[in-house]
Structure 1
């Protein structure tokens, strides 16, 4: 089984985000509500997704914070 590759651009649904951010779906949405994770974009009535760029930037910031500690 190959590990998923994080896309450079485009949109990611929650299931895809959770392949790279190892938390529960409930935690992901809690972070969004608290402003601790980028807000998703509503693409259609029942379709919500995150831009790959915003998630990548969030991950980069977390990595930098870890190095500063």
Structure 2
């Protein structure tokens, strides 16, 4: 049960196994509006639409990549600033 099907609906347990988290974590994500809500198919039966989950995964990856890019830029700027200051300090000593 490690893969998501191409389409259809999946149970909470399947998603918890897929993401390697507890059911409670997924419920917490739902309460915080950080995860797609389940579809209620009949009395007491709810499932998650795989397409909604796949869109959520795609969006999370894009957000993660944007944060990663910003961190890389900030790191490069920090390194360049330190190099420049070290060179200025070295020039002042001469």
- Calculate the TM-score normalised by the size of structure 2: 0.65
Deviation beyond 4 Å, 4+ runs, structure 1: none
The structure whose Rg is larger is 2
Which protein has the bigger helix share? Answer: 2
Return the match for 1:20 from 7, 18, 21.
Answer: 18
Indicate conservation of the 8 Å contact 2:10/2:50, yes or no: yes
Which protein has the bigger strand share? Answer: 1
Name stretches of at least 5 consecutive residues in structure 1 with no aligned partner.
none
* Structure having greater relative contact order (Cα 8 Å, sep ≥ 6): 1
Q: Structure 1 stretch 17-26 or stretch 54-63: which is displaced more?
A: 17-26
Q: CA–CA distance in 2 between the matches of 1:56 and 1:38? A: 10
Indicate conservation of the 8 Å contact 2:39/2:47, yes or no: yes
Indicate conservation of the 8 Å contact 2:3/2:18, yes or no: no
Name stretches of at least 5 consecutive residues in structure 2 with no aligned partner.
68-94
1:29 aligns with 2:39: no
- Calculate the TM-score normalised by the size of structure 1: 0.86
Matched positions, count: 67
Return the match for 1:55 from 45, 53, 58.
Answer: 53
**Alignment RMSD (CA, Å):** 1.3
Q: CA–CA distance in 2 between the matches of 1:46 and 1:26? A: 18
Q: Structure 1 stretch 16-25 or stretch 59-68: which is displaced more?
A: 16-25
